[in-house]
Amino acid sequence: MTLAELSRGDRAQIIAIDSQKNSVQRLMVMGLVEGIEIEFLGRSLGGDPIELLIHGSALSLRQTDARHFTVTIADKKDGS
C-alpha cells in the first residue's frame, strides 16, 4: 500500500520509495525516507493534498507524489 491510501490517524512506516521524480526527491530531503514512521493527519477539502506528521513537523503533499511511497501500517486507527 502507498502513502496515498492511508486514512486519518493511521501510523505507518515507509518501506520503499520510487525516487526518480524530482518532487519525490524533494520530499526525501524533507525527511520522508525509508524506515521513517509517519502519522497520517488528514486530507484537504476534496481529498487532496494530504497532511502527514514526521517527527513533529506537519507536511503536505499531493496524492500523485504520495503514490511513490510504499508503506506498511504500524498502528491502525479508524475514524477519530
Partner 1 sequence: MAEPAISSVPLENLTISQGMSIALVGNPNAGKSTIFNRLTGLRQKTANYPGVTVEKKVGKLNLSGSLYDLIDLPGIYSLSPQSADESIAVDVLLGRVKGTPQPDLIIAVIDATRLYQGLYLLQQLVELGRPIVIALTMTDDAIIKNISINTRQLQDKFQGVPVCELVATTGKGMRSLDTVIRNTIGKNYPQKNSYWKELRNASNEIQQKIGESSLKLVDIERAIINADPVAIESIQNVLGSETNSELLRYRTELCGSEPPIAVEARVRYSWIKEALPILESKAKAPIRWATKITNWINRPLTATVLFFGLMAIIFQAVFAWATPLMDFIDNTTVGLGTWVQDVIPPGIISSFIADGVIAGVGSVVIFLPQILILFLFIIVLEDTGYLARTAFLMDRAMRATGLSGQSVIPLISGFACAVPGIMATRVIPDRRDRIATILAAPFMTCSARLPVYALLIAAFIPNINVGFANLQGLVLFGLYMLGIIGGIGTALLLKRSALRGPNPTFILALPEFHIPSFRTVLLKLLDRARIFLRRAGTVIFTVAILVWALAYFPRSTNIETERVEAQAQASTVLTGSILETELNTIDNEAAAAQLAQSYLGRMGNWIEPVFTPLGWDWRISAAVIAAFPAREVVVAVLGTIYAVGAEADETSLVERLRSATWPDGRTVFTLPTVLGLLVFFAWCLQCAATLAVIKRETNTWRWPVFAWSYMTAIGYIGALLIYQIGSV
38, β-bridge pairs: 12, 54
Q: Which is nearer to partner 1, 25 or 72 (CB)?
A: 25
- Compute how many residues bind partner 1; rule: CB under 8 A: 37
> Which residues in 20-59 contact partner 1 (CB under 8 A)?
20, 22-31, 33-36, 41-42, 44-49, 51, 54-59
The reply to whether 61 sits near partner 1 by the rule CB under 8 A is yes
The reply to whether 62 sits near partner 1 by the rule CB under 8 A is yes
Amino acid at residue number 45: L
How many CB atoms sit inside 10 A of residue 23's CB? Answer: 12
